[in-house]
């Protein structure tokens, strides 16, 4: 003899999704405490205050960085301005086999230079270019330094790849047949010290470490323009 199935629950007894506002309204109806107060429209959360906070923090960072660049180079323009001392550093050469970061505080002993590094210790005369391994105009500037270096025997020409590792820099050195010293700035420290935000950027340094000229822009990709500028500066004669 089979047992009849129990009848289904009435609609009013079935479980429903919890809704706090509906529960309060139903309780008021059961207790006779009057209708529920009207539901207030939801107010959008204002994010303007947070936008102002983020914007203010960003402006503070820009201000601090600008003060830092001014203290190091005399302005917020990339590089070191003419008449200012060059920032000293030693960076590993791409051909050195070293995988190490650059040293921004070298001891700079002329009698014992770092043979596997680019020594920028204020001795000059020097033509120093900063470039990025993924930027065509910057790479062509190093080509220009390579070409012009043959005309100025008494001057040293060198380049530093900013935020680059040894492998990427070495591939460029071999592919483009550069023989001038080419170093790499693994951590970007040298790029920060010099405020390298654009390229091409070339520093022409006199003997003694004072900057003779700061050259910025693609106009200096042309060997003729750079050679004429160096000849006019006559940097080697000032030593």
To the nearest whole percent, how much of the chain has pLDDT over 90? Answer: 54
CB–CB of 211/82 below 8 Å?
A: yes
Structure tokens given for 37: 């107060």
- In the sheet that 201-205 helps form, which strands lie side by side, from edge to edge? 182-185, 156-162, 126-131, 201-205, 211-216
C-alpha dihedral sign at 40, 42, 48, 49? positive
pLDDT at 45 (0 to 100) = 46
pTM score, whole prediction = 0.67
**Pairwise CA distance, residues 185 & 91, whole Å:** 7
State the chain's mean pLDDT as an integer: 78
Among 49-53, 88-92, 108-112, 174-178, the minimum mean pLDDT is found in: 49-53
Q: Which phi and psi angles does 156 have, rounded to 5°?
A: -95, 135
Unique residue bearing structure tokens 């030593």: 239
Q: Which of 45-49, 70-74, 178-182 has the lowest mean pLDDT?
A: 70-74
**Average pLDDT over every residue of 153-168:** 95
């Amino acid at each position: 003899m089979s047992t009849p199935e129990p009848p289904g629950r009435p609609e009013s007894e079935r479980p429903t999704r919890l809704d706090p506002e509906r529960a309060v309204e139903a309780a008021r109806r059961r207790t006779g405490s009057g209708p529920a107060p009207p539901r207030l429209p939801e107010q959008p959360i204002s994010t303007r205050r947070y936008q102002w906070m983020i914007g203010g923090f960003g402006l503070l960072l820009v201000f601090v960085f600008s003060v830092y660049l001014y203290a190091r180079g005399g302005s917020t323009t990339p590089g070191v301005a003419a008449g200012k001392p060059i920032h000293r550093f030693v960076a590993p050469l791409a051909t050195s086999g070293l995988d190490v970061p650059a040293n921004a505080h070298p001891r700079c002993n002329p009698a014992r230079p770092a043979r596997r590094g680019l020594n920028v210790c204020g001795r000059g005369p020097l033509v120093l270019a900063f470039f990025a391994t993924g930027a065509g105009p910057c790479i062509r500037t190093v080509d220009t330094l390579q070409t012009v270096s043959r005309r100025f025997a008494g001057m040293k020409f060198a380049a530093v790849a900013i935020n680059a590792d040894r492998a990427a820099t070495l591939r460029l050195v071999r592919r483009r047949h550069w023989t001038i010293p080419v170093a790499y700035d693994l951590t970007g420290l040298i790029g920060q010290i010099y405020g390298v935000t654009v390229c091409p950027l070339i520093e022409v340094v006199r003997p003694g470490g004072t900057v003779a000229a700061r050259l910025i822009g693609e106009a200096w990709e042309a060997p003729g323009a750079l050679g004429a500028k160096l000849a006019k500066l006559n940097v080697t004669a000032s030593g």
